[in-house]
A = this chain, B = another copy of it.
Amino acid sequence: MAAPLGRVRLALDAMGGDHGATEVVPGGIAWALENPTDELILVGDELVILQIAGGKLPANARIVHGPEVIGMDEHPAQALRERKGASILVATNLVREGEADAVVTAGHTGAGMAAAVLRLGRLPGVDRPALAVQFLLREKPLVLLDVGANPDATPENLYQYAHMGSIFSEHVLGVSNPRVALLSIGEEKGKGDQRIQKATELLDLADLNFTGNVEGRHLAADEADVVVCDAVLGNVSIKLVEGVTTTITDMFRQEFRRLPFGPIAAILMRPAIARIRAKLDYERIGGAILLGVKGSVVITHGRARKRMVNFACSTAARAVREGVSGRIASALAAAPSVAADGLPSGPAPA
Which A residues are closer than 8 A to B by beta carbons? 137-138, 148, 151-152, 183-186, 192-194, 196, 215-221, 229-233, 235-249, 251-252, 255-256, 258-259, 261, 265, 268-269, 271-273, 275-276, 279-280
Contact = CB atoms under 8 A, between A and B. Distances in A.
Contacts of A196: 232
22 contacts: A137-B243, A151-B185, A152-B193, A152-B194, A184-B236, A185-B235, A193-B232, A215-B236, A219-B240, A220-B243, A244-B244, A244-B248, A245-B248, A248-B248, A248-B249, A248-B276, A252-B276, A255-B272, A255-B275, A258-B275, A259-B268, A259-B272
A193 B231 contact: yes
A268 B261 contact: yes
Nearest to A262: B272
Taken together, the copies of this chain in the complex come to 2
Nearest to A137: B247
Contacts of A216: 235-243
B217 A239 contact: yes
A259 B267 CA distance: 12
A232 B276 contact: no
Contacts of A218: 243
Contacts of A148: 185
Contact of A243 (B219, B256, B259): B219
A151 B198 CA distance: 13
A135 to B, nearest CB: 10
The 6 closest A-B pairs by CB, nearest first: A216-B239, A217-B243, A216-B240, A220-B243, A255-B272, A216-B236
A215 B193 contact: no
